[in-house]
Amino acid sequence: MKKEQVSAGRNAKKAGNVRPETAAFERRLKAHYDEMKWLYYELYSSDEQAFSYFCDMLRRCFDERPDSLRKWDAKREQVPGWYRGNEMLGMQMYPGAFAGTLKGVESHLDYISECGVNYLHLMPLLLSPAGRSDGGYAVADFRKVQPEYGTMEDLAELSGECHSRGISVCLDFVMNHTSEDHEWAKRARAGEKEYQDRYFFYDDWSVPGEFEKTVPQVFPTTAPGNFTWCEEAGKVVMTTFYPYQWDLNYANPTVFNDMTENMLYLCNHGVDIVRLDATPYIWKELGTNCRNLPQVHTLVRLMRMAVEAVCPGTLLLGEIVMEPSKVVPYFGTVEKPECHMLYNVTTMASTWHTVATHDVRLLKHQLGTVFALPKEYTFLNYLRCHDDIGWGLDYDFLEQFGMQQVPHKKFLNDYLTGKLLGSDSRGETYNDDPRLGDARLCGTTASLCGIEAAEYEQNPEKVKVKIRLDRMLHAFLFTQSGLPIIYSGDEIGQLNDYGYHEDPLKWDDSRYIHRGDFDWEAAELRKDRTTRQGELFSGLRMLEALRTLHPVFENAADTWIVETWNDRVLGIGRYYKGEKLIALFNFSEFDETAWINEVEDYTDLITGNPREAKAVGVPAYDFAWLLTKFE
């Protein structure tokens, strides 16, 4: 009998005398064992020793898991779909920008709860060298918090406090690469072969040159190319993102074993949702585009099983910023799931396309695709996040309206940067590649909606309309199935921060325009409804309250597109547990009519008044939520 089978058998036998939690862990491991071994052996040429290390590592991580978190797991296991409810509301924030430190975040948990948030995504907070950090996405130590934010103990304490308030904590796991300051990178630079083997090192530029023929660029302007010369090692190293972010070689099982252990270490410090950063990139092969290769799915499936065995209350959130056909496979199958949640990146980008074109046909098409997916697939929906908006739209669909990729991207960027007549958006472009014409876009929701320009013009009427657009987009966000995430600051309509232009460490990365410090003084105004902050804050709170109150917003609802016979008004239908919702969103700057003809008696959820769902007039940039109940 092979060694690892012996050890699995031994542990199973021991189960009688061990603590019930340990027995439960062994049961979970056993349930996955055959598949795990099969996949691991397939990937790593039946490397018995590495697999046995992997299993022992899982056991070790489980042993180290604090009791409080094991109890948390047990609670979650009772309600496996806990993250799918209509009461879920997320917020994404940089701890530094929000409150300076982790302790600062803890001291503001009342505010976070006041926002109705029960899922908190803390942006990268692990050790990362200043000026070479890519906003924290170049990690020098996966077990150390950036000292200016606090310590690992602070993280565990914050997460404990969050849990006691019913808030789950999400953290990035930057797994594709390490910082060039990571211990492994330092040893690789010093010439240790074992550590060079954890990355992609080449003696000269010939192999890198071959890769460059087929691998696209992530940051064509700010970090062109996929390789960097490492002077100290006298070799070339693969750096898909910035030159200081060295790609890890997951073809080396030690890398996979150690990185999985790092991930579980974070889970053992209270992280409930692991955001798998840049997931599609983690397997490289010459002659391919090094994105979404089949081995990536094997790795993610293995990580899913690892998490299910060690910390079953934990979720994997895949960051797959790719075209739609590449995204959905990361859910895996219903029987062999990979990620619990994925970003709904295409709907997000299609939403901003619709803001710029005032034409809902693409969005209808996109939502139709999403609505056709199994309801077990949970999307994380958002309007803005810390990254740029990339224009990964369905161009095959757009082509029938004469919209070609390159000119259309230019139109979107021109509109959203306010270059076109009639546009009040105030975005900035990001990483333009003049050869491909595929610049992306940055800016806060409020500034992209035109609030910044309207306030600058001191035009109160205009401000009102732009706030309405902002609120309508959030209503659209809350109408979608899945978990809605608010980008910190959006709840008070925070505007662009142009300060980064003067910062020597940030000036060349326009994503910093929407990463400004949270404005606590402005947040004070949230109680005053005559201000932008108050209008938006109370508006969003009301929408969230309605969403939580009505089962029709649950993930399990049936969803469909309602034909409005007006290309400027999007119609969505939802049905669940005797409730039917007709939601209408006017993306045009003019008042419009949704030519619908629904026979039931409806109530307008916003006013609470009865309203017919026939030829519904919707003011410019406004929306309607019409609800009827079947007894």
Stretch that binds ligand GLC, among 130-138, 224-232, 362-370, 572-580 (CB under 6 A): 130-138
8 Å CB contact between 123 and 172: yes
CA distance linking residue 351 with residue 355, whole number of Å? 6
Smallest distance, ligand GLC to C-beta of residue 509, A: 9
Taking the least distance from each CB to ligand GLC, the nearer of 319 and 394 is 319
Q: How many helices (H) and strands (E) does the chain have?
A: 23, 23
Residues 167-186 that bind ligand GLC (CB under 6 A): 174
Smallest distance, ligand GLC to C-beta of residue 313, A: 24
Taking the least distance from each CB to ligand GLC, the nearer of 161 and 387 is 387
What sign for the dihedral angle of Cα 534, 536, 538, 539? positive
Q: Which residue's CB atom is positioned nearest to ligand GLC?
A: 137
Smallest distance, ligand GLC to C-beta of residue 121, A: 11
Stretch that binds ligand GLC, among 134-142, 223-231, 361-369, 621-629 (CB under 6 A): 134-142
| Candidate residues 26, 106, 134, 491; the one interacting with ligand GLC per rule CB under 6 A | 134
Taking the least distance from each CB to ligand GLC, the nearer of 137 and 625 is 137
DSSP state of 334: S
Residues 487-516 that bind ligand GLC (CB under 6 A): none
Tokens of 600: 């039931």
DSSP 447-483: HHHTHHHHHHTT-HHHHHHHHHHHHHHHHHHHHSSSE
Taking the least distance from each CB to ligand GLC, the nearer of 431 and 445 is 431
Taking the least distance from each CB to ligand GLC, the nearer of 129 and 135 is 135
Smallest distance, ligand GLC to C-beta of residue 281, A: 8
Residue type, 311: C
Tokens of 474: 């959030």
Radius of gyration of the chain (CA): 25
**Bridge partners, residue 379, by sequence:** 342
**Bridge partners, residue 442, by sequence:** 428
Stretch that binds ligand GLC, among 129-137, 209-217, 308-316, 614-622 (CB under 6 A): 129-137
Of 172, 319, 338, 438, the active-site residue reads 319
Of 277, 308, 388, 554, the active-site residue reads 277
**319 given a catalytic annotation:** yes
Taking the least distance from each CB to ligand GLC, the nearer of 133 and 533 is 133
CA distance linking residue 342 with residue 553, whole number of Å? 19
Stretch that binds ligand GLC, among 112-120, 132-140, 183-191, 225-233 (CB under 6 A): 132-140
For residue 597, report the phi and psi dihedrals to the nearest 5 degrees: -150, 75
Smallest distance, ligand GLC to C-beta of residue 332, A: 21
Stretch that binds ligand GLC, among 133-141, 298-306, 472-480, 623-631 (CB under 6 A): 133-141
Smallest distance, ligand GLC to C-beta of residue 164, A: 29
Taking the least distance from each CB to ligand GLC, the nearer of 277 and 438 is 277
For residue 615, report the phi and psi dihedrals to the nearest 5 degrees: 35, 65
Residues 380-399 that bind ligand GLC (CB under 6 A): 386-387
CA distance linking residue 299 with residue 283, whole number of Å? 9
**497 given a catalytic annotation:** no
Show Cβ contacts of residue 96 under 8 Å, excluding neighbours closer than 6 positions. 125, 148, 149
| Candidate residues 126, 278, 363, 594; the one interacting with ligand GLC per rule CB under 6 A | 278
Taking the least distance from each CB to ligand GLC, the nearer of 11 and 381 is 381
For the packed helices 345-357 and 405-416, what is the interaxial angle rounded to 10 degrees? Answer: 70
Decide if residue 241 touches ligand GLC (CB under 6 A): yes
Decide if residue 452 touches ligand GLC (CB under 6 A): no
What sign for the dihedral angle of Cα 91, 94, 98, 100? positive
| Burial bucket for residue 593 (CB in 10 Å: 0-12, 13-18, 19+) | middle
Smallest distance, ligand GLC to C-beta of residue 262, A: 15
CA distance linking residue 182 with residue 171, whole number of Å? 19
Q: How many residues line the site for ligand GLC (CB under 6 A)?
A: 10
Please give the torsion angle defined by the CA atoms of residues 119, 120, 121 and 127, in that order, rounded to the nearest 10 degrees.
-140
CA distance linking residue 299 with residue 204, whole number of Å? 29
CA distance linking residue 623 with residue 571, whole number of Å? 10
Smallest distance, ligand GLC to C-beta of residue 554, A: 29
Smallest distance, ligand GLC to C-beta of residue 386, A: 6
Give the three-class secondary structure for 94. coil
Tokens of 265: 């270490």
Largest CA distance in the chain: 79
**Angle CA 515–517–520, to nearest 5:** 140
CA distance linking residue 229 with residue 243, whole number of Å? 9
Taking the least distance from each CB to ligand GLC, the nearer of 275 and 547 is 275
8 Å CB contact between 325 and 360: no
Taking the least distance from each CB to ligand GLC, the nearer of 37 and 440 is 440
Taking the least distance from each CB to ligand GLC, the nearer of 164 and 289 is 289
Smallest distance, ligand GLC to C-beta of residue 217, A: 13
CA distance linking residue 232 with residue 213, whole number of Å? 26
Binding mask of the shown chain, residues 302 to 321, with x at each position contacting ligand GLC by CB under 6 A = -----------------x--
Decide if residue 135 touches ligand GLC (CB under 6 A): yes
Smallest distance, ligand GLC to C-beta of residue 353, A: 21
CA distance linking residue 518 with residue 92, whole number of Å? 12
DSSP state of 137: T
Which chain residues interact with ligand GLC by CB under 6 A?
134-135, 137, 174, 241, 277-278, 319, 386-387
Name the residues annotated as catalytic. 277, 319
